[in-house]
Chains A and B, each alone.
Chain A
Amino acid sequence: MTISSSTVIDKTEVLQDGTIQVRQAEIITKDGVEIARNFHRWVRHPGDTDAQSDPAPVPAIANAVWTSDVVSVYQAQVASQAKV
């Protein structure tokens, strides 16, 4: 009997404002048959440089979606909302 584990980005969701929601799945298999799947999520907002360190395909999505216009519009939205 062989139990093994692997991780994969199994879902990415690009929102209208360019935000990327990332879901990583840890897949547990027994003799090659999946027996469990655990999820971990994080969010990357337009312009977030940490996205470049994420597993594929997140950097490619970020590079494609986050044009300078998308980033500037998003940052303007943030500036208009986040107040003390």
Chain B
Amino acid sequence: MATNAQYLASLVNSSGNINIPVSNGGVVFNNTNTTASPTSTTQNDYETGTWTPTDQSGASLSFTTNYAYYTKIGNMVYCSCAVTYPSTASGAQALISVPFSVNSSAQTYGGFTRYTTYSSNIQFLINVTPASVAPYLLSTGLTNANLSGKRLDFVAVYQASF
């Protein structure tokens, strides 16, 4: 039977990276008594990349995207993007997709505007279905028509559903 040191060494590949061999396995921090996995003390995911923000309002709009980046650490998603709305008269609530599904019991996250050609600073509410951000001015949602031809650069933070 392998010793702990031998087992740990077997997880290191030829590039020097530590690989978790079991799907959804992770690092369990020793700050609770539970040994179940995954738990709220398990760090089981890290990923970074780009994504394609798409219109989720139902109006089938095509955005011009300057950039869109994300980093997911555990179940926390940090994403930022710069999109420009096309010319539109759609009165539907504006909704922009996010890279991962949204935890339905953790809707108290949101986002803020880094830069916009809209006349006011916009905040972003996290929407569960469809997984998206919704631009708001205080308690009022913005429609696609409100954002017609406008550029939105924003940062959003939320909990993913897994």
Contacts and interface: CB of A to CB of B under 8 A. Distances in A.
Interface of A: 15, 17, 19, 21, 23, 38-43, 45, 50, 74, 77-78, 81-84
Contact of A41 (B52, B128, B134): B52
Given A15-B161, A21-B101, A84-B141, A43 B131 contact: yes
Contact of B47 (A19, A39, A43, A84): A39
B80 to A, nearest CB: 14
Interface of B: 47-52, 54, 56-58, 70, 91-93, 95, 97-101, 127-131, 134, 140-141, 143, 161
B130 A78 contact: yes
A82 B24 CA distance: 32
A41 B101 contact: no
Given A81-B129, A84-B93, A39 B58 contact: no
A78 B57 CA distance: 9
Given A15-B161, A83-B93, A84-B93, A43 B129 contact: no
Contacts of B143: 84
Query: For the complex, would chain A's binding face be called helix, strand, loop or mixed by DSSP majority?
Result: mixed
Contact of A40 (B52, B97, B101, B128): B52
Contacts of A84: 91-93, 140-141, 143
Contacts of A45: 56, 130
12 contacts: A17-B129, A38-B50, A39-B47, A41-B99, A42-B54, A43-B54, A43-B97, A43-B99, A81-B128, A82-B92, A84-B141, A84-B143
Nearest to B141: A84
A33 to B, nearest CB: 10
B109 to A, nearest CB: 16
A21 B127 CA distance: 16
Given A19-B101, A21-B100, A39 B50 contact: yes
